[in-house]
């Protein structure tokens, strides 16, 4: 089947969406942008194709009476076990890379011991951790290999180093040196093998409760469908770095406009707060951009500003919103100037203000900037859609809702759980139209 792909290369994450020729979204994938846009594009695309394959499997399973009512569970099991396969595959790559990196005068004479320790660490990661990480009800903090492998490597590495009389520093050094290489190498594209072995594990997990023989045919049918990538459109800050001809590139403003339209056909105003900039976009009833405004060169009020604040407070970006939600007192923050963010924060803290109250004030200040950009683009008309990374931040959303109400009255505000894919979605639709409607 012909597939259309949109890739949104953001400054922090890269997203991909795979669509069929009817405009149905088949799959979504995301990865860190890192420094290498090429790889990020490839990885996110591969992830989206994996997700697309799962959609196809779901379609087939839905037709199979024997598994009725259990499809979600099966898909969940398949996903989990597929990830496990992927994890093990990448561990293998990481191990080889680590071992190959044991060289140089610093390690002279100790090579054997280090390699031995590494082998033991990876054995345990593979045999003990993989099962735990991907057990049916395991909570994973992240889906990125670096995060999954990293935290466990540290812990096991320390134990193994101690037991084997090897310096933990050496192991750490190998890991640091190798992880970037591995990360920048897209996992092998041999999906079907991984899906099949995932399927076997699902059968094992579910055998008592299900006629697992019924799984085989639909999954095989889905795996046999050939997905070919017909047309790709790139967008986002990294778009010019993609190896795309010019006609395969669309600005993120157009992609966000169209993406938001596909999610909510009645939306007329779109606010996108990304890592680099904030955009107010007006679209018509076809999703065509009729006007837009964005922040000037100043980063005030963009996602980056929240990043500075998080650094300054020694917190993770995702902790800011929840803490701000605890605020009980409203504090007015006057500047969203990134240059002064640190100083203003320190001043406020020195004055005895609480962190949560300061954070609530900061979120409001950012939303005030966003409101000004929106109003310059023509204001808010029903319906209004909020996209971009900051849409996940509940404190920001809370302030936005209040400001929209104060300024524009009752307006429907849409925030899609998949809003991070809005740009990629619009791009994939552009890709589809380039072929289907050309």
Partner 1 sequence: MSAKTNPEVIKESSMVKQKGMIAGNYDRLTGTKESGEKVVSTFVPGNLNELIMCFDMVNNLPETNAIQNGMRKQSGGMIMDAEKAGHSEDVCTYVKADIGMMGRGNIAPNGKPMPAPDMLLLSYTGCFTFMKWFELLRHEYKCPTVMLQIPYQGDGKITKNMRDFVVKQLKEEVIPMFEQVSGVKFDIDRLREYLKNSAKAEDNLVWVLESAKNRPSPIDAYFGGVYYIGPMFTAFRGTTDAVEYYDLVRGEIEQRIREGKGPITPEGDMKEEKYRLVVEGPPNWTSFREFWKLFYDEGAVVVASSYTKVGGLYDQGFRHDPNDPLGTLADYCLGCYANNNLPQRVELLEKYMNEYQADGLLINSIKSCNSFSAGQLLMMREIEKRTGKPAAFIETDLVDPRYFSHANVKNRLESYFQMVDQKRSGASLATA
> Which stretch, 2-10, 27-35, 139-147, 287-295, contacts partner 1 (CB under 8 A)?
287-295
> Which stretch, 128-136, 187-195, 247-255, 348-356, contacts partner 1 (CB under 8 A)?
247-255
Please return the burial class of 109, using the count of CB atoms within 10 Å of its CB with bins 0-12, 13-18 and 19+: exposed
Give the span between the Cα atoms of 274 and 394, in whole angstroms. 15
> Which of 297-328 are b and which e, b meaning 16 or more Cβ less than 10 Å from the residue's Cβ?
eebbbbbbbbbebbeebeeebeebbebbeebe
- 172-201 binders of partner 1 (CB under 8 A): none
Beta strands 269-273; 384-387: pairing state: parallel
Which of 195/237 has CB closer to partner 1?
A: 237
Question: Which stretches of 125-182 are assigned E, i.e. beta strand?
Answer: none
Which of 106/297 has CB closer to partner 1?
A: 297
378 binds partner 1 (CB under 8 A): yes
162 binds partner 1 (CB under 8 A): no
42 phi/psi in degrees, rounded to 5: -65, -45
- Residue 276 Rama label (left phi>0; alpha psi -120 to 50; beta): alpha
Token code pair at residue 309: 């604040």
- H or E segment to which residue 338 belongs: helix 338-350
Q: Which residues pair with 384 in a beta bridge?
A: 269, 413
Which of 81/278 has CB closer to partner 1?
A: 278
| Least Cβ distance, residue 272 to partner 1 (angstroms) | 12
Q: Residue 294: which of 277, 282, 274, 276 has the closest Cα?
A: 277
Of 292, 305, 386, 421, the one binding partner 1 by CB under 8 A: 292
8 binds partner 1 (CB under 8 A): no
307 binds partner 1 (CB under 8 A): no
| Least Cβ distance, residue 363 to partner 1 (angstroms) | 24
Of 376, 402, 405, 407, the one binding partner 1 by CB under 8 A: 376
Give the span between the Cα atoms of 240 and 34, in whole angstroms. 16
Token code pair at residue 103: 């060289």
248 binds partner 1 (CB under 8 A): no
> Which stretch, 71-79, 137-145, 176-184, 288-296, contacts partner 1 (CB under 8 A)?
288-296
> Which stretch, 1-9, 33-41, 43-51, 244-252, contacts partner 1 (CB under 8 A)?
244-252
277 binds partner 1 (CB under 8 A): yes
> Which stretch, 133-141, 222-230, 285-293, 392-400, contacts partner 1 (CB under 8 A)?
285-293
Which of 23/116 has CB closer to partner 1?
A: 23
| Least Cβ distance, residue 424 to partner 1 (angstroms) | 16
- Count of residues that interact with partner 1, criterion CB under 8 A: 28
296 binds partner 1 (CB under 8 A): yes
Please return the burial class of 155, using the count of CB atoms within 10 Å of its CB with bins 0-12, 13-18 and 19+: exposed
251 binds partner 1 (CB under 8 A): yes
Please return the burial class of 11, using the count of CB atoms within 10 Å of its CB with bins 0-12, 13-18 and 19+: middle
Which residues are at the interface with partner 1 (CB under 8 A)? 23, 237, 250-254, 258, 261-262, 277, 286-297, 376, 378, 429, 433, 437
């Amino acid at each position: 089947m012909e597939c259309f792909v949109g890739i949104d290369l953001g400054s922090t994450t890269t997203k991909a969406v795979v669509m069929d020729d009817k405009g149905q979204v088949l799959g979504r994938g995301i990865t860190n942008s890192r420094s290498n846009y090429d790889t990020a594009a490839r990885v996110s695309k591969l992830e989206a194709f994996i997700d697309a394959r799962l959609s196809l499997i779901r379609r087939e399973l839905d037709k199979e009476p024997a598994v009725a009512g259990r499809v979600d569970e099966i898909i969940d099991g398949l996903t989990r076990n597929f990830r496990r396969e992927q994890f093990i595959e990448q561990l293998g790559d990481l191990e080889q890379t680590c071992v190959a990196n044991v060289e140089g005068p610093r390690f002279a004479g100790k090579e054997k011991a280090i390699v031995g320790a590494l082998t033991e660490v990876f054995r345990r990661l593979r045999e003990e951790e993989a099962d735990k990480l991907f057990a049916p009800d395991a909570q994973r903090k992240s889906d990125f290999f670096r995060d999954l492998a990293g935290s466990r490597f540290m812990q096991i590495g320390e134990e193994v180093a101690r037991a084997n009389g090897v310096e933990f520093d050496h192991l750490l050094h190998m890991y640091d040196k190798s992880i970037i290489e591995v990360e920048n190498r897209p996992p092998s594209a041999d999906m079907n093998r991984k899906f099949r072995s995932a399927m076997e594990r699902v059968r094992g997990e579910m055998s008592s409760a299900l006629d697992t023989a019924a799984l085989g045919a639909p999954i095989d049918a889905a795996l046999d469908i050939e997905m070919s990538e017909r047309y790709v459109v790139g967008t986002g800050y990294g778009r010019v770095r993609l190896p795309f001809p010019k006609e395969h590139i669309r600005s993120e403003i157009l992609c966000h406009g169209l993406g938001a339209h596909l999610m909510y056909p009645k939306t007329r105003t779109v606010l996108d707060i990304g890592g680099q900039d904030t955009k107010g976009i007006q679209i018509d009833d076809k999703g065509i951009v009729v006007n837009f405004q964005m922040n000037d060169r100043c980063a005030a009020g963009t996602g980056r500003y929240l990043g500075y604040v998080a650094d300054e407070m020694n917190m993770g970006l995702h902790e800011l919103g929840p803490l701000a939600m605890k605020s009980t007192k409203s504090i007015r923050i006057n500047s969203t100037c990134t240059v002064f963010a640190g100083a203003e924060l320190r001043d406020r803290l020195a004055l005895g203000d609480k962190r949560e109250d300061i954070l609530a004030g900061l979120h409001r200040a950012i939303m005030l900037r966003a409101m000004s950009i929106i109003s310059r683009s023509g204001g808010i008309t029903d319906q209004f859609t909020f996209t971009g990374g900051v849409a996940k931040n509940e404190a920001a959303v809370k302030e936005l809702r209040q400001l929209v109400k104060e300024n524009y009255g009752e307006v429907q505000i849409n925030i899609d759980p998949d809003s991070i894919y809005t740009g990629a979605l619009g791009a994939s639709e552009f890709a589809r139209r380039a072929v289907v409607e050309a």
